[in-house]
């Protein structure tokens, strides 16, 4: 009897070990597929940007608007996949933040002057770098790209390239908003946008290869600090693509959190910087 129980225990342990090994292999396969998908999105977007640069004058308004569309599409598609990795794939939080940092660096190196963020476009309008008509066209391109990403990514997931994508499709691509207190969430988005815009402003004199790492570090910190409450999006177009379709708050509450919050945060950072520059100049007179 003792020998039988020992044999059963050994068999059970072997079965559990095999199941754990299979689960580990499946998780690594899901991660590899997602990394390949992210790389494919970036490479395809970069190829489109190069093609646009060959076909259109580099400083023309048409190229600027097309580049905004492509860059926003890249940003939204990558964020969709990272969100699925985190929520469906259940990857470790440390790995999720590492991927956030790496993807932020890649975006910074490949965007070539595009922002992919309507709030940044409004900041440029305030700085008089854009006339209102051009800003409106850029915002339209950004939201059009966000809407396109909402359509394209479910098509990519429906290919069933990984078990994680199959599970996501089986749930009807369901997602749940992390927002439970809209006013608190709006304050979080405002603070994240303020921090990121401040980092962008104070690193603009650095070389691009150093600047992207500094900004990416602030972005990752913002995601770490505010991700549990809002996802730390601080981008109205990106939020429209990744958050607005999720179960949770009403449309007006979404607008307050993900549109009003980031706009106020970025404009607040710019106004504070302007006031600080005036205060410094008056102090040293």
Rounded Cα–Cα distance for residues 190 and 196 (Å): 10
Please list the residues that pair with 176 across neighbouring strands.
247
pTM value surpassing 0.75: yes
How much is the pLDDT for 95?
Answer: 93
Are the C-beta atoms of residues 39 and 112 closer than 8 Å to each other? no
Neighbour tally for 90: CB within 10 Å: 12
Rounded Cα–Cα distance for residues 129 and 146 (Å): 24
If you write DSSP's letter for every residue of the chain in order, what string do you get?
Answer: -HHHHHHHHHHHHHHHHHHHHHHHHHHHHHHHHHHHHHHHHHHHHHHHHHHHHHHS-TTSHHHHHHHHHHHHHHHHHHHHHHHHHHHTS---HHHHHHHHHHHHHHHHHHSTT----HHHHHHHHHTTSS-HHHHHHHHHHHHHHHHHHHHHHHHHHTT--SHHHHHHHHTTS--B---SSHHHHHHHHHHHHHHHHHHHHHTTTS-HHHHHHHHHHHHHHHHHHHHHHH-----HHHHHHHTTTSBSS-HHHHHIIIIIHHHHHHHHHHHHHHHHHHHHHHHT-
How much is the pLDDT for 262?
Answer: 96
Per-residue pLDDT of the chain (285 residues), as tens digits, is: 555 565 555 556 544 444 455 454 668 889 999 999 999 999 999 999 999 988 887 678 899 999 999 999 999 999 999 999 999 988 999 999 999 999 999 999 999 889 999 999 999 999 888 899 999 999 999 999 999 999 999 999 999 999 999 999 999 999 889 998 999 999 999 999 999 999 999 998 899 999 999 999 999 999 999 988 999 999 999 999 999 989 888 999 999 999 999 999 999 999 999 888 888 877 776
The set of residues, in sequence order, having a beta carbon less than 8 Å from that of 32 and lying 6+ positions away, is none
Question: Closest Cα to residue 260, out of 248, 250, 252?
Answer: 252
How much is the pLDDT for 280?
Answer: 80
Are the C-beta atoms of residues 82 and 96 closer than 8 Å to each other? yes
Question: Closest Cα to residue 78, out of 108, 50, 39?
Answer: 39
Neighbour tally for 236: CB within 10 Å: 28
253 CA to centre of own chain? 20
How much is the pLDDT for 285?
Answer: 67
């Amino acid at each position: 009897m003792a020998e039988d129980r020992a044999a059963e225990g050994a068999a059970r342990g072997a079965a559990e070990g095999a199941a754990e090994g299979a689960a580990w292999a499946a998780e690594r396969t899901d991660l590899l597929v997602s990394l390949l998908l992210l790389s494919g999105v970036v490479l395809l977007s970069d190829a489109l940007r190069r093609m646009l640069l060959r076909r259109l004058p580099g400083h023309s308004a048409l190229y600027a608007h097309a580049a905004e569309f492509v860059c926003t599409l890249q940003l939204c598609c990558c964020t969709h996949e990272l969100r699925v990795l985190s929520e469906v794939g259940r990857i470790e939080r440390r790995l999720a933040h590492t991927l956030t940092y790496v993807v932020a660096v890649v975006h910074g190196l490949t965007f070539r002057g595009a922002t992919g963020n309507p709030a940044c476009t409004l900041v440029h309008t305030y700085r008089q770098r854009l006339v209102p008509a051009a800003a409106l066209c850029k915002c339209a391109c950004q939201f059009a790209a966000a809407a396109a990403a909402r359509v394209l990514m479910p098509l990519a997931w429906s290919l069933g390239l990984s078990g994680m994508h199959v599970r996501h499709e089986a749930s009807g691509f369901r997602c749940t908003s992390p927002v439970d207190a809209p006013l608190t969430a709006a304050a979080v988005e405002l603070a994240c946008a303020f921090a990121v815009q401040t980092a962008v402003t104070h690193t603009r004199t650095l070389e691009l290869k150093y600047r992207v790492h500094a900004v990416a570090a602030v972005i990752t910190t913002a995601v770490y600090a505010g991700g549990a409450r809002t996802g730390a999006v601080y981008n109205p177009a990106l939020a429209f693509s990744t958050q607005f379709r999720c179960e949770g708050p009403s449309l007006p509450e979404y607008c307050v959190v993900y549109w009003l919050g980031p706009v106020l945060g970025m404009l607040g950072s710019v106004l504070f910087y302007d006031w600080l520059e005036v205060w410094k100049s008056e102090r040293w007179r």
